[in-house]
Amino acid sequence: MDKRPGRRLRCAIYTRKSSEEGLDMEFNSLDAQREACEAYIASQKSEGWVATRDRYDDGGFSGGNLDRPGLKQLLADIDDGLIDVVVVYKIDRLSRALMDFSKLVEVFDRNGVTFVSVTQSFNTTTSMGRLTLNILLSFAQFEREVIGERIRDKVAASRKRGIWMGGYVPLGYDVQDRKLVINETEAASVRRIFDRFVELGSATMLAKELRREGFRSKQGTLIDKGYLYRVLRNRVYRGEAVHKGKAYPGEHDSIVTDKVWDQVDAILQGNRHARSSNSRMQTPAPLKGLIFTDTGAAMTPTATKKRGKLYRYYVSMDVIKNRATEDDSGGDQAPTRLPPGMVEDAIVTEVRRILQTPEVVTQVLAALKRDQVSEAEAIAALHDFNTLWAQLFPLEQARIIQLLVRRVTVTAAGLEVDIRREGVAGVIREMIAPRDMEAAE
């Protein structure tokens, strides 16, 4: 430090407090720290020490890292040559982490800045001062880690007792006296999400339906499929408190019954296995489990690779198992091997034909009217099925075929398609959802 007579040493006072508690008081912890530092600087007036006017305060910031606005401004001013001495009440106000403090000392040394603690006398320009500093910092870091362990243990113990420990407040609840209490209006929406998911079995369809109705989260944003999954998997709604993957009985009331929760969980587990299986398939086989020969033998998807190209077929299990068929007389027999493109296109054509029949149109319009879908939209979707179908990804097409088709029978005369008419309205509802909803997923 330059101690030449008449040399003014610009002293920056840095203050910090880990929590925001008490900062709104007229005279708070930061003020107390600053007052002590100003008194110390005044005692060094004969040495030319002068406090700077700028304040470097970090109220409500942890000393475990360097991501603090006041500290960042202090370091910037040091690099600009505006500061000669950094004054703090205690060294742990500047940092509680030994590695972080060593970085700060490097900045101080590079700019010829001295670091002073009012309550702990040492000089960082000497080897003994650095040793003393490192010892003090080691104890400060130890203290911080012990405090962290205490907090984690307290949180774990509280969660095991079902106590809510703050943070994100889920839809359906409010916080009163640091406890979760049911918000009846929001709780009705949560129950509807669970009940409707049980009916539809698809988060995609439910998300589109809710977005069409303008359904919003607790934060006021339109919901998407990801938000729905978070709601459907949140065990808070079952009246439980979760800590590190383990659930404990909560002190708050549940919103959904165990029966509904188990139904939703079963659907989610089933969908997860289905997505896992589909992800392993290079190309979906939408008629798997649906297509049979007229003798009742299942036709399973198979594939062969020739010259680097993949060829797919639906092949009768009679052929695969080398079983004799009932009719070996040479008469007309149903095909035992079919290319998927041909048979799948034929299924889509047959589905479209059935969708145009008056009885199906009437059934669909009645179902969609209850969901506030206009008759014009529904009729347009029924007539424009091919266009809507072409906009879907192969896996989505496969899923919709599974929803629409109960059984396909291959005969010598052609294909016989049995449609699940009860699922038509749901599929049409999904396919006419606005495209902006699809983008949001």
Whole-angstrom Cα distance, residue 399 to residue 408?
A: 16
**What is the maximum span of the chain, computed from C-alpha positions, in angstroms?**
121
Residue among 86, 128, 87, 89 at smallest CA distance from 107: 86
The b/e string for 373-397 (b: 16+ C-beta within 10 A; e otherwise) is: beeeebeebbeebeebbeeeeebbb
Q: Could you give the domains of the chain? A: 9-141 (3.40.50.1390), 173-279 (3.90.1750.20), 291-324+332-432 (no CATH)
CB 421 within 8 A of CB 363: yes
pLDDT of residue 98: 66
Residue among 89, 77, 16, 79 at smallest CA distance from 52: 77
pLDDT of residue 278: 46
Whole-angstrom Cα distance, residue 165 to residue 158?
A: 7
Q: What are the backbone angles phi and psi of residue 387, rounded to the nearest 5°?
A: -65, -45
Q: What are the backbone angles phi and psi of residue 294, rounded to the nearest 5°?
A: -70, -10
pLDDT of residue 301: 86
Environment class of 354 (CB within 10 Å of its CB; exposed 0-12, middle 13-18, buried 19+): middle
pLDDT of residue 277: 46
Q: pTM for this structure?
A: 0.37
397: left (phi over 0), alpha (psi -120 to 50) or beta: alpha
Q: Give me the tens of pLDDT residue by residue for the chain, a chain 441 residues long.
A: 554 555 788 999 999 988 877 777 778 889 899 999 999 999 888 888 999 989 999 988 888 788 899 999 999 999 999 999 999 988 778 877 767 777 888 888 889 898 888 887 665 656 766 677 677 667 766 776 777 788 777 777 776 777 766 667 888 889 888 788 899 999 899 999 999 888 888 888 888 888 888 888 888 888 888 888 888 988 889 888 877 777 788 888 889 998 999 888 888 887 655 554 444 444 567 888 888 888 888 888 888 777 777 778 888 888 887 776 655 545 567 788 888 888 888 878 877 777 777 777 777 777 666 655 666 666 766 676 666 676 666 777 777 788 788 888 888 888 888 877 776 767 666 655 543 333 333
The letter for the amino acid at 202 is: S
Whole-angstrom Cα distance, residue 264 to residue 30?
A: 52
For residue 168 the two structure tokens come to 């994100």
In 252-318 the beta strands, taken as DSSP E runs, fall at 291-293, 299-306, 309-316
pLDDT of residue 279: 42
pLDDT of residue 24: 77
pLDDT of residue 369: 67
pLDDT of residue 73: 93
Find all residues with CB under 8 Å of 225, minimum gap 6, and list them. 203, 204, 207, 441
Find all residues with CB under 8 Å of 232, minimum gap 6, and list them. 193, 194, 197, 203, 264, 268
Q: Please write the tens of the pLDDT for every residue from 105-131.
A: 888 888 989 888 888 766 565 676 667
